[in-house]
Amino acid sequence: MRVQEAKFKLETTVQGCSGRVRKIVVIHGCNSGTALMDMVRTDLQSPYISEIKPDYFNNGQTIILIKK
């Protein structure tokens, strides 16, 4: 996906999470560019997100924590 498509998809996914979902792991990769990783880690915003943090064991993933 391109950055804007991925951003829209993530925002709608976060918004549509049921009350039982507390964490989303986004696999964006890191070897052939960082546009998706940068968008997820710095540009993604939602009132439903409590925290966005890198996966320290896999740089190609980011963890999104959902508010209760």
Q: Is the pLDDT of residue 68 over 90?
A: no
pLDDT on residue 2: 92
The Cα 48–Cα 53 span in angstroms is: 15
pLDDT on residue 58: 93
Q: What amino acid is encoded at 23 in this protein? A: K
Specify whether the CB–CB gap between 40 and 52 falls below 8 A. Answer: yes
Tens digits of residue pLDDT in 6-64: 999 999 999 998 788 999 999 998 888 899 999 999 999 999 999 999 999 999 999 99
The Cα 22–Cα 17 span in angstroms is: 9
Give pTM, 2 decimals.
Answer: 0.89
